[in-house]
Amino acid sequence: MTARMTARFADLKRQNRAGLVTFITAGDPDDRTSAAVLRALPEAGADVIELGMPFTDPMADGPTIQAAALRALKAGHRLSKTLAMVRDFRAGDDATPIVLMGYYNPIYVYGVDRFLADAKAAGVDGLIVVDLPPEEDRELCIPALEAGLNFIRLATPTTDDARLPAVLQNTSGFVYYVSVNGITGSAIPDYSRVASSVQRIKRHTDLPIAVGFGVKTPEGAAEVAAHADAVVVGTALIDVLARSLDAGHATPTTVDAVRGFVEGLARGVRSAKRPAPAAQEDRP
């Protein structure tokens, strides 16, 4: 893991609580508002931030995140501006891990080596690139690891025990468990299965397990936080942002609306009842 990611999950473990991972799309609805939202997330209780790289064809995302990407692109946002957002954020926050999430095409167009160097220099901690399977690790995953960035994989309910070793082989930072099949925002997870799914993955890795897709409320976040190492919320957060807009443009309520929603999620995560940590053996 990068130093920031290691420190954050170690701190969460000491507190015996799950982390809150929040997703926003960079540049949505415009660069200035997006930067203000980004700064507000840690203040509101986010422990890790996923920052979406806008793309014209986000195949794994539902209508909400697709619309966010289109708003950002229409406002002139590009990958270079995403990196600039991270660099500016780091001037005031050098502790919160930031993971860029998206698709390979914008990175390929930017240039892999140039992108990795610029991302590292800007203060990015990791990448989630949803359309590069383990069989394509030489394209980006291995170079990212060599550049000192985490490469975070997604596991799903259909990722069985035979497939998990390949998924986890070069994964670092944390494992993102997608608790429902389908696109983002498509369904509510079956919380009764989260515990068993997390435990199954933990038999294959010591990495933290973050669970997302379908978490929409503080109560749902608490359900997941009782078993996972982190809870990921994206679509519901973007929905709150979108409802604050006027014809696609930011209003005076936009940043506060997002902040208030994340504060509620953070309270939910922190209220989760978790098993007491295992007692440490006494050592001479």
**Domain 3-271 falls under CATH 3.30.420.40:** no
Starting at the edge strand found earlier in the chain, the sheet holding 98-102 runs: 150-151, 126-129, 98-102, 48-52, 19-25, 230-233, 209-212, 175-178, 154-155
Q: Give the model's confidence band at 185: pLDDT under 50 very low, under 70 low, under 90 confident, else very high.
A: very low
Give the pLDDT confidence of 64-87 residue by residue, as tens digits: 999 999 999 999 999 999 999 999
Q: Is 190 tagged catalytic?
A: no
* CA–CA separation, 231 and 79 (whole Å): 26
Please tell me the predicted confidence (pLDDT) of residue 180. Answer: 66
Residue with tokens 């167009």: 109
Q: Mean pLDDT, to the nearest integer, of 147-169?
A: 93
Q: Which of 28, 47, 50, 223 is catalytic?
A: 50
Q: Give the model's confidence band at 32: pLDDT under 50 very low, under 70 low, under 90 confident, else very high.
A: very high
Beta bridge partners, 230, equal: 19, 210
Q: Mean pLDDT, to the nearest integer, of 219-242?
A: 95
Q: Give the start-to-end residue ranges of the domains of the chain.
A: 3-271
> φ, ψ for residue 137 (rounded to 5)?
-60, -30
What sections of 75-215 are H helices per DSSP? 79-90, 104-110, 112-122, 141-146, 164-168, 194-202
Q: Mean pLDDT, to the nearest integer, of 109-124?
A: 98
Q: Is 102 helix (H, G, I), strand (E, B) or coil?
A: strand
Q: Which of 28, 31, 61, 118 is catalytic?
A: 61
* CA–CA separation, 207 and 167 (whole Å): 13
- Is the pTM higher than 0.75? The answer reads yes
In the chain, the percentage of residues whose pLDDT exceeds 70 is 93
Please tell me the predicted confidence (pLDDT) of residue 184. Answer: 47
pLDDT at residue 281 tops 90: no
Sign of the Cα pseudo-torsion (73, 78, 82, 87, in order): negative
* CA–CA separation, 85 and 78 (whole Å): 11
pLDDT at residue 154 tops 50: yes
Please tell me the predicted confidence (pLDDT) of residue 187. Answer: 54
Q: Is 263 tagged catalytic?
A: no
